A and B are shown apart, each in its own frame.
Chain A
Amino acid sequence: MKTAWEKVQIARKIDRPKSSDYINAIFNDFIELHGDRNYGDDKSIIAGIAYLDEIPVTIIGEQKGKNAKENITRNFGMPEPEGYRKALRLMKQAEKFNRPIITFIDTPGAFPGIGAEERGQGEAIARNIMEMSNLKVPIICVVIGEGSSGGALAIGVGDKIVMLENAIYSILSPEGFASILYKDASKSKIAASEMKITANDLKKLELIDEIIKEPKEGITQKFEEITSELKKYIKTNIKDLQKLDTEMLLVKRYEKFRKIY
């Protein structure tokens, strides 16, 4: 059994598969679509359309780099407001064309910078959360690595929320938590276990629907095992969710978050 801190390390590994890897493995004919039609194209979020076998879907994924160079292009997977607005634009488009939405969550958090604040980071996140709660198509959210703070939740409101076994989902990084509550950033290990951030923790708290087991040999070694498992999960659930009428879909989604107290 791995400790929470060990999972933090695994979730952050640079060679752990990223959103683009899942997109390529699970879907066909992915066409990436760019830009928020307002300011720019944020490369820390990739988004577009693809086929899940025969079903057309919209995909949104937070994208970290696989090496130092790509990480600079991808801003280490920390979106700016235009990233969230691109995601929202394409999710609205998905609603228009009645396409289910799949999101992949993998971020250390929304980027804290001067430009991000000038362009309304808080507003961008708030609007995504609100709009996602009411989009008339099925939404499945998959936490594949690091799901940190509002930056993760901004693409994390859906009908089904699943986590990979070694992924984490937290209010902020264990380092940040330790420095705020213990006034000591070096206590991150303790913070990680106290914060309840592992897939098991979240399942127990009834905040996620499912844990997708990772291969014992390691996720990179047996990547096709986890992608076929994940594909099966996504497909089954999309089909089930598509059977619900829109009103029921939205009532259930509202209830899912409404009951969290």
Chain B
Amino acid sequence: MVIDKVKKLNEIETKPHKNTKASDMLVGKWVKCDKCKEIIYKEELHNNYSVCPNCGKHFRLSSRRRIKQIADEGTFKEIAGDIITKDPLKFEGYLKKVDILKEKTKLDEAVKCGTCEIEGQKAVIAVMDGNFLMGSMGSAVGERITIAIETAIQQKLPLVIFSVSGGARMQEGIVSLMQMAKTSAAIAKLNEAGLLYISVLTDPTTGGVTASFASLGDIILAEPEALIGFAGPRVIEQTINQRLPKDFQKAEFLLEHGFIDKIVERKDMKHMISTLIKFHTPTPKSEVKK
């Protein structure tokens, strides 16, 4: 198997997939790239799509900045923003934690959805945000994404979802698990309507999000070196009691194994998406056929 070869070729990391904290980006004018260790001037990083100008490492993006990079200026109109966090387990401290996070991140949940134009082409987009409880999917995230999918169906628009997620949200228990079914069922409806769904996987996309809508795109794109998988690397290591190969569960690994269509650098993402949408815009001829 390929993996055995990879295992032999690569030195084994002691701590695989060390996460870059978003907070790396928040203090001071300088930031250290945790891949090449280069000290980068923050503004330079920002102007370079938050990609390290030295080694090409893609830093994590907030939903706000992602939308700015993808949507044409002034075209994003939020939908489902009134869908708020629920607490079905009455889990101690959960809503309090959410309130503190809201204050700190200026976000109201782990996904932002809306309609927008991408190089002039209308689309529905949903952008997850890792700064809000690791982008985990609870009932509000599931509901917002489902509304986004249904909006695409109603308005006959293509759908683009940017995923970043630690998986289903633990604090909402089984109700979070059921969001996987809700969102995936909505994707089935989108498919029946013959509409395009582009799923973009960013670092990291794992668990219940990988095991639902994120893996169901007509076209699945990923950012370079994004961690993508179902089970987290630590869980796998503990279960099988062996260390994991270096590039295990990276976007490149998924491409190699046939689970994504293309790895796209951030600077090219907007144009790639708009090109794909254009490709799938019905011509008068195909409308007649329908």
Contact = CB atoms under 8 A, between A and B. Distances in A.
Contacts of A154: 211
Contact of B173 (A110, A122, A197, A257): A197
Contact of B230 (A112, A153, A202, A253): A112
B210 A195 contact: no
A130 B236 contact: no
Given A121-B230, A126-B214, 14 more contacts: A110-B231, A112-B240, A116-B231, A122-B210, A126-B211, A127-B215, A129-B180, A133-B185, A170-B174, A176-B235, A205-B174, A258-B182, A258-B186, A260-B175
A112 B231 contact: yes
B211 A181 contact: no
A254 interface: yes
Given A126-B210, A133-B188, A177-B170, A118 B257 contact: yes
A120 B240 contact: no
A16 interface: no
A172 B172 CA distance: 12
Interface centre among A127, A154, A156, A196 (most CB of B within 10 A): A196
A153 B211 CA distance: 10
B249 to A, nearest CB: 6
Interface string B169-208: 0110111111111101111110010000000000000011
A254 B236 contact: no
Interface string B227-254: 0111110011001100011001100000
A257 B230 contact: no
Given A126-B215, A195-B89, A117 B248 contact: yes
B216 A205 contact: no
26 contacts: A112-B231, A113-B231, A113-B240, A114-B240, A116-B231, A118-B2, A120-B258, A121-B231, A122-B229, A123-B259, A125-B180, A125-B212, A130-B184, A130-B185, A149-B208, A150-B207, A150-B211, A154-B211, A156-B181, A171-B177, A202-B174, A254-B185, A254-B189, A257-B181, A258-B186, A261-B142
Contacts of A122: 210-211, 214-215, 228-230
Interface centre among B212, B216, B248 (most CB of A within 10 A): B212
Interface in A174-196: 176-177, 180-181, 194-196
Contacts of A121: 211, 229-231
Contacts of A123: 210, 215, 259
Contacts of B182: 257-258, 260-261
Contact of A261 (B92, B139, B168): B139
A157 interface: yes
A179 B52 CA distance: 34
Contacts of B240: 112-114
Nearest to A78: B239
A104 interface: no
Interface of B: 1-3, 83, 86, 88-89, 91-92, 139-140, 142-143, 146, 168, 170-171, 173-182, 184-189, 192, 207-208, 210-216, 228-232, 235-236, 239-240, 244-245, 248-249, 257-259
Interface string A230-261: 00000000000000000000000110011011
A119 B236 CA distance: 14
Interface centre among A205, A254, A261 (most CB of B within 10 A): A261
A131 interface: yes
Interface in A5-58: none
Contacts of A116: 230-231
Contacts of A149: 168, 177, 208
Interface of A: 110-123, 125-127, 129-131, 133-134, 149-150, 153-154, 156-157, 169-172, 176-177, 180-181, 194-197, 201-202, 205, 207, 253-254, 257-258, 260-261
Contact of B244 (A114, A119, A133, A195): A114
B207 to A, nearest CB: 8
A118 B248 CA distance: 9
Given A114-B240, A130-B188, A150 B230 contact: yes
A130 B207 CA distance: 16
Nearest to A112: B231
B24 to A, nearest CB: 23
A194 B215 contact: no
Nearest to A255: B185
A196 B89 contact: yes
B248 A180 contact: no
Contacts of B180: 125-126, 129, 150, 153
Contact of A257 (B185, B235, B239): B185
List of 3 A-B pairs having minimum Cβ-Cβ separation, nearest first: A112-B231, A122-B210, A133-B185
A169 B174 contact: yes
Given A122-B229, A261-B139, A112 B184 contact: no
